[in-house]
Amino acid sequence: MAAYGLYTHIASNKFRSMVLLAGLFVLFYVLVYAGALVAEVVIDSDATVNYYLAAAARDLMMAFPYATAAAALWIVIAYFFHQSIIDAVTGGETVTRQEQPRLYNLLENLCISRGIPMPKLKVMQSDALNAFATGLNRRQYAITVTSGLLNALNDQEIEAVLGHELTHIRNGDVQMMVVAVIIAGVVGFFGELFFRAFTNFGYYGGGSWSSSSHSSSSSSDGDRKSSGGGAIVIIIIAVVLIVLAWLLSQLVKLALSRSRELLADAGSVELTKNPDAMISALRKIENRGELPGATSAVMELCVDNPREGFADLFATHPSVDARVQALVKYAGGHDPGPLALPSEAEEPDDRAPPEAGRTPPPVPSGPWSDARDPADASHGASHGPWGDPPPGPWGRH
């Protein structure tokens, strides 16, 4: 399982990354065209639909070099600063061997065993159980784990999670996922910008539409269809284009094959030779990986994404059950079923009064203790070498 389709998967990731980057420019041009439509309506609200469409096309051609430069600039910014942006969202902080010797040594041993360059290590303070890898080249690769994961998993399970993230780096999944985050971010940002501008225009400049429609009320119905009505149609087209671009940017995650998680699980087993550790790690992480405040784009980078899509159609990760069953079937692991964390176990309260009708358990006694067994209290028997001797052949009754 670990090697099946691996090289094809890596080559496919590189090809799809290039396609998605090209698609980013196309979506950006769509947004620019929609903005040009809105601008033409603002300039002249009494033109025809054909006029608006032609004028917006001319505006797009004029803005084409600037739009291309803006999209390229966004990619450059994301290339160099995407890790800082993700750290700002998640609160991840780089740690050294002195700060996290346990975590650092586990990752270093895995890297040395396979000759993999050591990525940066980051820890985010969160009770959630999750981890993710980021970076677009060897100098940028980083693995971030939550403090909750460090506290809840043992060394073998943490090693399995680190092996999972290292496999994402080796397979080229990280580049693919970061590109998807970039696309969703740029389209979402400019889409929201246009919507805010349109809303403000409707609030402050809506009177121009109403006045134009009022002034044209004395004209014929045919004139209204060819003038004021055209502005409304164009605004609807612009809104539809913006919504379509946003939807396409969100559907980019469908290009993230869910098989990448199965391959990463298998790669972890290949690195650690311990399928049971990967299985138990997944069972502990199951339904405990939600990162408060993290965007959906960041959650798609994680080892487990509890945010499922509609009817699991848009889910970016296979279910934990499916991943565990694959490891059991192909790697020979054993499934313990859902696991409870030690912190979730019920701890008895020693201060609670005993239930009615029940005798409290005897207090353990030692050689220097004066404690008496409640059952022997009525006989005056005491315990220990310096107490009264118990009945026997040399004792006194």
What CATH number does the domain containing 283 carry? 3.30.2010.10
Q: Are residues 196 and 307 in the same domain?
A: no
Query: Looking at the structure, do residues 184 and 238 belong to the same domain, yes or no?
Result: yes
The answer to whether residue 392 is domain-embedded is no
The beta-strand segments (E) located in 93-221 are: 93-94, 120-124, 131-134, 142-146
Q: Please, are residues 153 and 169 in contact by the beta-carbon 8 Å criterion? A: no
**Are 389 and 396 contacting, i.e. CB atoms less than 8 angstroms apart?**
yes
- Lowest mean pLDDT of 157-161, 243-247, 259-263, 372-376, name the range: 372-376
- Same domain? For 25 and 84 the reply is yes
368 or 35, which is more confident: 35
Structure tokens at 340: 């409870």
Neighbours of 387 (CB within 10 A): 14
Q: pLDDT over 90 for what percent of the chain?
A: 32
Cβ 262 vs Cβ 321: under 8 Å: no
Range of the domain at 99: 93-174+267-331
| Same-domain check for residues 283 and 134 | yes
Count how many domains the chain has: 2
Residue 381 lies inside a defined structural domain of this protein = no
The answer to whether residue 124 is domain-embedded is: yes
Closest-CA residue to 165 (of 119, 101, 128):
119
Rg over alpha carbons for the chain, rounded to the nearest Å, is 32
Residues 187, 157 share a domain? no
Position 70 scores a pLDDT of 84
Residues 105, 222 share a domain = no
Q: Is 47 contained in some domain?
A: yes
pLDDT tens, 22-62? 777 888 889 889 989 988 988 888 888 899 999 999 999 99
Residue 339: in which H helix or E strand, if any?
none
Task: Tell me the C-alpha distance between 326 and 213, whole Å.
Answer: 65
Question: Within a domain: residue 50?
Answer: yes
Between CA 387 and CA 251 the distance in angstroms is: 80
Among 96-100, 113-117, 201-205, the least confident range: 201-205
Instruction: Please indicate, yes or no, whether residues 283 and 311 belong to a single structural domain of this protein.
Output: yes
Task: Please tell me whether residues 276 and 245 are part of one structural domain.
Answer: no
Q: Say whether pTM exceeds 0.85.
A: no
Question: Which residues pair with residue 132 across a beta bridge?
Answer: 144, 302
Q: Is the pLDDT of residue 130 over 70?
A: yes
Domain-located, residue 354: no
Query: Phi and psi dihedrals of 138, rounded to 5?
Result: -65, -30
Last residue of a domain, one of 235, 255, 275: 255
- In 3D space, the residue among 109, 137, 134, 113 whose CA is nearest the CA of residue 122 turns out to be 134
Question: Would residue 190 count as lying in a domain?
Answer: yes
Catalytic hit among 165, 261, 286, 300:
165
The secondary element (H helix, E strand) that includes residue 108 is helix 101-114
For residues 68 and 105, membership in a common domain is answered with: no
**Residue 52 tokens, joined:** 């608006």
Of 360, 362, 363, 365, nearest to 383 by C-alpha is 365
Cβ burial, residue 185 (10 Å; 0-12/13-18/19+): middle
308 is catalytic: no
